[in-house]
Chains A and B, each alone.
Chain A
């Protein structure tokens, strides 16, 4: 057997090439079963405006009841749960004008990241650094604020420029000279500092006080990082191609 063959066997054993289709969620599954299969999807419910207490309703029924596009909801669930999954071009095109719902979802995610996740990371960070030297406390706070501002600028650009452009286009207003290609080219990554923060807390922050709090904040950072990476994946691989299709469609009219 050649070397490449061995590589692919190893990656199969490690589960990197899991048979994907059989792992995807479908509309007729009970929503409760979906959550049991991957509890991280709980995070998505609120962003789509789906409340708990859904009994034995299927995914489709829950979406209907809450006026959520079932295609979109499933697509996002599958992106979150399957490393390998990306929707096909046809599936993305089928979202069509439900792009509004996708934008609402992205906006809800933004405020969740800022008001919920980053807020609690910052609070925990303050608590941890209270036991540290004054300078250390100061620089950590400075660093986190700088990171937060970077994220706010990033989200603001999307919410003030990109999303309104898309909504206006769908409403039929002639777009100005903006196009989604600009966003695609400039969509910056915002995870460097978050990754740095992990290493700072894990490897370099002196002292051994509040170790359970340190671990809790690390869990929070890892989870936020993972969530943000799915978030930008959704923007880059679903939102951008969808809007490009819409641009073509509206240009023809």
Chain B
């Protein structure tokens, strides 16, 4: 592997060997990722995980003890700068999923998984405080205003001097925080909150 191609270290925590083996195989088809450990549960392996210092931890939330599921950050307080990705194939409380940077669904294909993993890294590096606050950050408000004015991702990226990737991450956070998905819904939100004037909408 070339040096300028950083490969991300990944730990998988998944009780089913069938699933973890398949996932590992899919992930390792892409050379930007390296699975450094596959663990069935995270009760006895925290120290080892800390030591491995992974970039991404993929966790099946049901592999985390019920009481600790709500407190992911506490559980993994030893690791720094790590993106958390939930692997989901049964119903998981959305409140619990909010703690993760992104979610992999059992039906996702290799490309989609790779895309989501890269996004999780982006989300980790994005200035937005992802893990708790529901209020929009100043940056997110600026992006929201651009969106409401009908601008597309590329235009927003140029306008704010950020990458399209980062715009997408901001958009995801805005959607998550407001609970509003459609651009026209976000426009309504922006006007109701007096962020823009109706005349500025195309």
The interface residues of chain A lying within 8 Å CB-to-CB of B66 are 6
B193 within 8 A of A: yes
Which single member of B181, B189, B201 contacts A192 (CB below 8 Å)?
B181
Majority SS of interface residues in chain A?
helix
Contact B90 A7 (CB under 8 A): yes
Q: Is the CB of B180 within 8 A of A196?
A: yes
Residues of B144-195 whose CB lies within 8 A of A: 178-182, 184-185, 187-189, 191-193
- A140 close to B182 (CB less than 8 A): no
For this complex, 7 residue pairs linking A to B, each with C-beta atoms less than 8 Å apart, are: A7-B90, A11-B90, A135-B197, A140-B188, A143-B188, A200-B180, A204-B189
Residues of A within 8 A of B (CB): 2-4, 6-7, 11, 16, 135-136, 138-140, 142-143, 146-147, 192-193, 195-197, 199-200, 203-206
Q: How many residues of chain B get a CB closer than 8 Å to chain A's CBs?
A: 24
| Cβ-based interface call for B15 (8 A) | yes
Given contacts A7-B62, A193-B184, 17 further A-B pairs with CB under 8 A are A2-B15, A3-B63, A11-B91, A135-B191, A139-B187, A139-B191, A139-B201, A143-B187, A143-B188, A146-B184, A192-B182, A195-B181, A197-B185, A199-B180, A199-B185, A204-B178, A204-B193
Which residues on B are within 8 Å of A, measured CB to CB? 15-16, 41, 62-63, 66, 90-91, 178-182, 184-185, 187-189, 191-193, 197-198, 201
> B106 to nearest A CB, angstroms?
14
Look across to chain A and name the residue whose beta carbon is closest to the beta carbon of B60.
A3
Q: Give A142 to B188 CA distance when docked, in angstroms.
A: 9
Cβ B192 vs Cβ A205 within 8 A:
yes
Q: Give A2 to B181 CA distance when docked, in angstroms.
A: 37
| CA gap between A138 and B180 in the complex, in Å | 19
Q: How long is the Cα–Cα vector from A248 to B130 in the complex, in angstroms? A: 51
Known: A4-B62, A136-B191. A143 touches B184 (CB 8 A): yes
Indicate whether A196 sits within 8 Å of B191 (C-beta atoms), given known contacts A3-B15, A11-B91.
no
Distance in Å from the Cβ of A147 to the closest Cβ of chain B? Answer: 8
Contact partners of B16 in chain A: CB under 8 A? 4
Cβ B189 vs Cβ A200 within 8 A: yes
Instruction: Assess the B182–A196 pair: CB atoms within 8 A.
Output: yes
Q: Give the complex CA separation of A204 and B192 in angstroms.
A: 7
CA distance A195 to B180 in the complex (A): 7
B191 proximity list for chain A (CB < 8 A): 135-136, 139
Question: Within the assembled complex, what's the spacing in Å between the Cα atoms of A193 and B66?
Answer: 34
Known: A3-B62, A7-B62. A206 touches B184 (CB 8 A): no
* Bound-state Cα–Cα, A206 to B185, Å: 15
B198 engages A138 (CB within 8 Å):
yes
Closest 9 CB pairs of A and B: A196-B185, A199-B179, A135-B198, A196-B180, A192-B181, A139-B191, A143-B188, A192-B182, A193-B182
Q: Provided the pairs A2-B15, A16-B91 are in contact, do residues A139 and B181 lie with their beta carbons within 8 angstroms?
A: no
Bound Cα distance from A196 to B186, whole angstroms:
8
- Looking across the interface, which residue of chain A has its beta carbon closest to that of B148? A139
Query: Among the interface residues B41, B179, B192, B193, which one has the most CB atoms of the partner chain A within 10 A?
Result: B192
Chain B residues with CB under 8 Å of A196's CB are: 179-182, 184-185, 188
Chain A residue at minimum C-beta to C-beta distance from B16: A4
Most buried by A among B62, B178, B191, B201: B191
Complex Cα distance, B61 from A4, in Å, reads: 11
Q: Among A3, A6, A135, A200, point to the contact of B185 (Cβ < 8 A).
A: A200
A77 to B124, CA, bound (A): 47
Which residues on A sit within 8 Å (CB–CB) of B63?
3
